[in-house]
Amino acid sequence: MLGSYPDAAILVAPATVPAGFPSPAQDYYDGSIDLNKHLIQDSTSTFIVRVSGESMSGAGISDGDELIVDRSLTPVDGSVVVAILDGELTVKRLRITASGVVLQAENHDYPDITVPEMSDLSVWGTVTRCLHHV
């Protein structure tokens, strides 16, 4: 669980890093940042899960990425969620339509899942961040 590391602060550089032309490097730091405080609202309800598969690649979520998932948040239409459908975990975008619930893939190679009325669906948590590996 997050928040269990004492003194988990990371040094912060005092300047932004241009994505265009390079600028002279700064050789000093401007304090530190605690990523737990920066990324997590409720540490008692937040977990990290690792993604397996490419069905959410269009949302910037790739195979092997870690997702920060907050179980205390109420998902809304358009939220990326970790859902349990008939006992199987999946990460998808939640769509609430007039005709029912759809778990939407963000990759055209994967079908959306229209949740049948008699299915057992629960939203395990709402994704708040993706820790993407480059």
Q: Collect all residues with Cβ–Cβ distance below 8 Å to 10 and sequence separation of at least 6.
A: 32, 33, 34, 35
Q: Choosing from 92, 99, 119, 122, which is the catalytic residue?
A: 92
Catalytic residue status for 37: no
Q: Collect all residues with Cβ–Cβ distance below 8 Å to 21 and sequence separation of at least 6.
A: none
Buried b / exposed e across 61-90, counting CB within 10 Å, b at 16+? beeebebbbbeebebeeebbbbbebeeeeb
Catalytic residue status for 55: yes
Q: Collect all residues with Cβ–Cβ distance below 8 Å to 6 and sequence separation of at least 6.
A: none
Q: Choosing from 52, 55, 62, 119, which is the catalytic residue?
A: 55
Q: Which residues are catalytic?
A: 55, 92
